[in-house]
Amino acid sequence: MDAVYVKVDSAVVTLADGTPWTLMKGQHYPASDPVVRENPGMFSADPRYGVTWTGPPPPEMAEPPVEQATAGPGERRGAVRRG
């Protein structure tokens, strides 16, 4: 099972059946979960979004991960067509 992590601080989204659902940074969900499929921009596969610590952050966690905006060489991305 692939897991993804909430990357927004907090948000309330409405599921397809009308149910409000609260998302909080660091929560993890299966990548196939309906809330993930309906709100893909609020999730990341980068596990740094799911890590919590006390005190100063470790050096590798000091900066939030930067998501790559374009596909890398040889990488295929699914296109979402809206409209």
23 residue type, one letter:
L
Domain range summary for the chain, segments of one domain joined by +: 3-50
Inter-residue contact 10 to 23 (CB < 8 Å): yes
Is the pTM higher than 0.85? no
Residue written as token pair 């099972």: 1
Could you report the per-residue pLDDT of 21-80, keeping only the tens digit for each? 999 988 999 999 999 999 999 999 988 887 777 888 777 776 666 666 676 666 666 666
| pLDDT at residue 38, rounded to an integer | 93
